[in-house]
């Protein structure tokens, strides 16, 4: 379950629709009724309560899906790049400790975060929402 207050339009989440789980993008948020409208494909947009939403764990696959470029570093760490934004992990596929930065703004996170949380950090740091679009 994700708290509706943690979501922003454009965030990627998983929705449980009558037993079927699918990935979708938040298109609107109603903080009064505590619901998020999520698009899971063409003409497939519905409102969901928080208990029907779950996060997408941050992973190599998730970052590649939103067009981050992976660079394996000589010291064994992995850096992901999208424009001037960088995400670095100490070991391949270990997303428990993250360093990410945009220009002079650097952040360190010592816990596993979800894709929508990275999107919110990105928005806070760059003032642009992180989408799957190429930069």
For domain 4-54, which CATH number applies: 3.40.50.9100, 2.60.40.10, 2.30.30.140, 3.20.20.140?
Answer: 2.30.30.140
pLDDT of residue 17: 81
Residue 54, judged by CB atoms within 10 A of its CB (0-12, 13-18, 19+), counts as middle
pLDDT of residue 19: 83
Asked if pLDDT for residue 43 goes beyond 80, the answer is no
Asked if pLDDT for residue 135 goes beyond 90, the answer is no
* HEC assignment per residue over the chain: CCCHHHCCCCCEEEEEECCEEEEEEEEEEECCCCEEEEECCCCCEEEEEHHHEECCECCHHHHHHCCCEEEECCCCCEEEEECCEEEEECCCCCCCCEEEEECCEEEEECCCCEHHHHHHHHHHHHCCCCCCCCC
pLDDT of residue 68: 97
pLDDT of residue 133: 82
Structural domain boundaries of the chain?
4-54, 60-126
- For 60-69, write each residue's pLDDT tens digit: 999 999 999 9
Asked if pLDDT for residue 116 goes beyond 90, the answer is yes
pLDDT of residue 126: 95
Give the pLDDT mean for 85-101.
96
pLDDT of residue 80: 98
- For 74-91, write each residue's pLDDT tens digit: 999 999 999 999 999 999
């Amino acid at each position: 379950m994700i708290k509706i207050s943690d979501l922003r339009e454009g965030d990627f989440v998983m929705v449980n629709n009558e037993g079927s789980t699918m990935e979708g993008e938040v298109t609107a948020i109603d903080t009064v009724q505590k619901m998020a409208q999520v698009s899971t494909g063409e003409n497939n947009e519905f409102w969901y309560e928080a208990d029907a939403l779950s996060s997408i764990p941050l992973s190599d696959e998730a970052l590649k899906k939103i067009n981050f470029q992976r660079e394996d570093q000589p010291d064994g760490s992995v850096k992901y790049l999208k424009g001037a934004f960088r995400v670095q992990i100490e070991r391949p596929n270990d997303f428990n400790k993250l360093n990410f930065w945009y220009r002079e703004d650097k952040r360190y996170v010592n816990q596993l975060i979800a894709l929508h949380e990275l999107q919110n950090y990105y928005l806070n740091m760059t003032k642009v929402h992180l989408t799957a679009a190429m930069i």
